[in-house]
Chains A and B, each alone.
Chain A
């Protein structure tokens, strides 16, 4: 746990210093996307690692958050520091509702139903013209007031700061959850439903908590996205986002906190590198997913980032050696 905490603090420190050292807009944009994907990957990882199932419909919560923030901003004129948290909350509520259905299922059924939900939402977004403006999407999502006359560079820097705030908050929540009794309960359910039940854990309750948290974090990311890109359309539910998230979680290593961060960094850079060959980008993604599954099942950080709890206590038992 200490390694993880120290690493996270170090990463946070670097991230804070980053904009002071960099004044290239393009690099700042990449960094912002890394922050965005870091939150998304962390949220998907909660489902994979702490519910123990693979969701293919996670774009549902990303999209709900994005649309929520856009609609709140456009119709109610709410400022960004309200829309993003509200987007997270609304997505969390949907997480509860969708979880009521999906968490009763396992394995392939879970995968399909989550995918079905994402598809349903996409179809609704595409067809409910009155509410979501259909394929034309919602444009002109508001910018923070201080940016009204700002240079493009300053805009990026402000968004970087906001993104960093969101990411730090998201990681804080994830960290707290993972290291809590509730987090351990979710792991128990993932490992063995029978053991979990026999120690008093309600499998549904434990999974639901992880699921709601995961949905809320994805919603935060979506809300941020809506303001940064300033446009939200049904494409936000498209599978390409899901593919990216899958690769991030796989490459970084499932079930760790650092893994998704590494995955987000790698995949964002990869996507940029492949932008030249946009048409082949997804093709290569498919190959990468297969390669990771076949050759790197624990992900790049899988074994590294996995730290075990040890006991270094003061009872008469022999204290465990080695750093935590």
Chain B
């Protein structure tokens, strides 16, 4: 277990198994994520990365195994309960609220920050107005930080693919995650946008989120941004280590590129 801060891990996955019907999508997967880390999760298509995400965030109940967040067992909790504890994720097929504009999307994302009692919903007192203002300011800040300031009033349905991915991250950030989990956030970005995006991600850890778990296919992005990389293949953990170690690992290369002809 590689842990830069030397304290208990933020997230721990222990022996996760996911079986659908006759198919084992994920087999005996264990890993940790420490505070202050950016961890990349890579692997060929079908390796089980999104399934892993789903298990960590409550969208799937693991057939076996446990997930711990900040020491608490969160296995099988409902997704929104896990989100409330500070684990927020984005989705592989872009999920934003298409009928709202960018600002409204991120504002809505501030749900947890702006929670009110029933009474306040219908008979708002002074502090509600203040919270609303604070939340709106925060939404604008996040949109600026992520690079969408120019598109703040644009309906989400009209955004380009790259902008949609950014919006997803912005909405996730609004939920004040401790651990932010992004599923292929750079899909659809060109190399320039991807590099910029990587820079943005690096600035997030610390001030905005504690740690980041990133599923990505864009190798330069992952290797450039991650402190540590985990490789999955056929539902199992194939390798784990520093980016440089992973790049040099023959098994990993084989998994992606296949064996050279003898």
Q: Give the B-binding residues of A (Cβ under 8 A).
A: 173, 176-177, 180-185, 187-188, 191-192, 194-203, 209, 308-311, 313-318, 320-322
Is B231 engaged at the interface, CB distance under 8 Å to the other chain?
no
Which residues of chain A have C-beta atoms less than 8 A from B103's C-beta? 308-311, 320
A308 lies within 8 A of B101 (CB): yes
A185 lies within 8 A of B140 (CB): no
Number of A-B contacts (CB under 8 A): 131
Which residues of chain A have C-beta atoms less than 8 A from B80's C-beta? 196-198, 200-203
A202 lies within 8 A of B78 (CB): yes
In the complex, which of the residues B78, B107, B112, B114 contacts A309, with contact meaning CB atoms closer than 8 Å? B107
Interface size class of B (residues with CB under 8 A): 35 or more
* A187-B100, A192-B97, A195-B96 known; A176-B124 Cβ under 8 A: yes
* Closest B residue to A184 using CB positions: B108
Is B228 engaged at the interface, CB distance under 8 Å to the other chain?
no
B121 lies within 8 A of A182 (CB): yes
**Could you name 26 residue pairs across A and B whose Cβ atoms are closer than 8 Å?**
A180-B122, A181-B110, A181-B114, A182-B121, A187-B97, A191-B98, A192-B96, A195-B97, A197-B59, A197-B80, A198-B80, A198-B172, A199-B108, A200-B84, A200-B112, A201-B80, A209-B118, A308-B103, A313-B133, A313-B137, A315-B140, A317-B140, A317-B143, A317-B144, A317-B149, A321-B153
Which residues of chain A have C-beta atoms less than 8 A from B58's C-beta? 197
* A308-B153, A310-B103, A313-B140 known; A194-B91 Cβ under 8 A: yes
* A194-B95, A317-B149 known; A200-B111 Cβ under 8 A: yes
Which residues of chain B have C-beta atoms less than 8 A from A187's C-beta? 97, 100, 108
A199 lies within 8 A of B171 (CB): yes
B96 lies within 8 A of A199 (CB): no
Query: Which 4 A-B pairs give the minimum distances between C-beta atoms?
Result: A191-B97, A197-B79, A200-B83, A181-B114
Is B11 engaged at the interface, CB distance under 8 Å to the other chain?
no
In the complex, which of the residues A173, A198, A322 contacts B83, with contact meaning CB atoms closer than 8 Å? A198
Shortest A251–chain B CB gap in Å is: 20
Which residues of chain B have C-beta atoms less than 8 A from A201's C-beta? 80, 111
Residue of B98, B118, B121 with most partner-chain A CB within 10 A: B121
Shortest B245–chain A CB gap in Å is: 32
Supply 4 further A-B pairs (C-beta < 8 A) apart from A199-B109, A318-B149.
A184-B107, A184-B111, A188-B111, A198-B175
Which residues of chain B have C-beta atoms less than 8 A from A315's C-beta? 137, 140-141, 144
Tell me, in angstroms, the Cα distance from A322 to B103 when the chains sit together: 14
Which residues of chain A have C-beta atoms less than 8 A from B141's C-beta? 315, 317
Is B89 engaged at the interface, CB distance under 8 Å to the other chain?
yes
In the complex, which of the residues A191, A194, A199, A310 contacts B99, with contact meaning CB atoms closer than 8 Å? A191
* Closest A residue to B90 using CB positions: A198
B122 lies within 8 A of A177 (CB): yes
Which residues of chain A have C-beta atoms less than 8 A from B155's C-beta? 308
Tell me, in angstroms, the Cα distance from A202 to B112 when the chains sit together: 11
Is B61 engaged at the interface, CB distance under 8 Å to the other chain?
no
In the complex, which of the residues A188, A311, A322 contacts B108, with contact meaning CB atoms closer than 8 Å? A188
* A197-B79, A198-B90 known; A192-B104 Cβ under 8 A: no
Tell me, in angstroms, the Cα distance from A176 to B118 when the chains sit together: 11
Is B152 engaged at the interface, CB distance under 8 Å to the other chain?
yes
Tell me, in angstroms, the Cα distance from A196 to B107 when the chains sit together: 12
Shortest A270–chain B CB gap in Å is: 29
Is B115 engaged at the interface, CB distance under 8 Å to the other chain?
yes
Which residues of chain B have C-beta atoms less than 8 A from A317's C-beta? 140-141, 143-144, 149, 152
Tell me, in angstroms, the Cα distance from A199 to B153 when the chains sit together: 21
Shortest B34–chain A CB gap in Å is: 22
* Closest B residue to A322 using CB positions: B153
* Closest A residue to B57 using CB positions: A198
Which residues of chain A have C-beta atoms less than 8 A from B171's C-beta? 195, 199
* Closest A residue to B86 using CB positions: A200
Tell me the chain B residues, 161-179 only, with Cβ under 8 Å from chain A: 171-172, 174-175
